[in-house]
Amino acid sequence: MLNLTGDLAEMEKAYLALEEDLKNPALFRDQKLYSVTARRYSELGRLVKIWHQYQKNESDEAGARLLLADQNPEIRELAELEIADLELKRKVLEDELKILLLPRDPNDAKNTVVEIRAGTGGDEASLFVSDLFRMYLKYAETRHWKTEILSASPTEAGGFKEVIFLVTGDSVYSHLKYESGVHRVQRVPVTETQGRIHTSAVTVAVLPEAEEVEVDIKPEEIKVDVYRSSGPGGQSVNTTDSAVRVTHLPTGLVVTCQDEKSQLKNKQKALTILRARLLDRQIAEQHEKISSERREQVGSGDRSERIRTYNFPQGRLTDHRVGLTLYRLPEIIDGDLAEVISAVGAYFQAKQLAGSVNE
């Protein structure tokens, strides 16, 4: 039986208290506090729902056990079958509650900025950036998420030197956060005449979208330069000063955006990327303050390590962190990423659960 009844009862009280807070019109005057309160209320709501199901299951199991003393053998047999089913259900609910009771990543419910950049491999790396970009767009479609390109630097080979896009929807960051890292591709490039396999690499950065109330960028902290767009694009893009370069003076971070015809839209997209990078920097600084053991449990998100290999000749995908190997690479590249995302998430969740048990 679950021995966290006291903790769960306290969380139910907290949930009901937050419910009352959200009815107070004064809360809406502080958007940051309202956002935090609403998010916590939603998280506790899922926990309370499972907790109520667990309580009902306990009650049903206790009632079924009383029937084991019945003089009618058929009733006793039915009670035994029901108890077996209820015990299995109780185990499932216990596991769900333990996972929900783990320390939550406060960014899990956020939208996400994804940055994919070509690494070693020249044109082949830029083409693989395009492949991964398409893969994530297709996966987003299966989740009914929306995507928006924030910045792109196409190459003459038909790929991208860099592409940055926003993914919005339900709990996007919780699904994509472990995609950060070096993705390696092994295949025969279209320009290879000898049929030799080349190895290239790209980096993927997954950043939680920062709300304005979380990352306050003061006007005096940024320098905005406008200039004429360059590279591939329509005439109207290349003949007007619509491109924007935003420099964050305190940190030296620079973001450029030239994809839109409108200077204002380019500035808004650049600020979205800048806020995400500033929030990511804050998170990295916070992680440096905690122990290496704890950082391992929650996932470091270190983008310097190779996390995955896509081997096209063998049709194989290997995730080196979790020891996962799948031989259906064409389907995965076409957006069927759910099994990979689920396996990686379960791996880090299990490590976190093991760490909480050992503490």
Residue spans per domain, the chain: 5-100, 112-213+291-358, 219-286
Average of per-residue pLDDT values in the chain: 84
The larger pLDDT score, comparing residue 210 to residue 144, is at 144
Mean local confidence (pLDDT), 135-159 = 93
287 pLDDT exceeds 70? no
Reported confidence tier of residue 212, pLDDT bands at 50, 70, 90: low
Q: How many residues does the chain have?
A: 359
The amino acid at residue 151 is S
299 pLDDT exceeds 50? no
Say if 112-213+291-358 and 219-286 have the same CATH topology.
Answer: no
Tokens of 283: 């998170």
The percentage of residues in the chain with a pLDDT greater than 70, rounded to a whole number, is 86
Residue 168's pLDDT is what? 93
Q: Can you tell me whether residue 212 is helix, strand or coil?
A: coil
pTM above 0.75, yes or no: no
Among 112, 296, 138, residue whose Cα is nearest residue 204: 112
Return the CA Rg of the chain.
25
The alpha carbon of 257 is separated from its chain's Cα centroid by a whole number of angstroms, namely 24
Options 3.30.2310.20, 3.30.160.20, 3.40.50.2000, 3.30.413.10; CATH of 219-286? 3.30.160.20
Alpha-carbon distance 89 to 228, whole Å? Answer: 63
Which alpha helices (DSSP H) does the chain contain, by range?
A: 5-21, 31-66, 73-100, 123-142, 172-176, 235-238, 263-288, 292-298, 329-333, 338-358
Residue 101's pLDDT is what? 79
pLDDT tens, residue by residue, 312-322: 999 999 999 99
CB 15 within 8 A of CB 41: yes
Does the domain spanning 112-213+291-358 belong to CATH 3.40.1650.10?
A: no
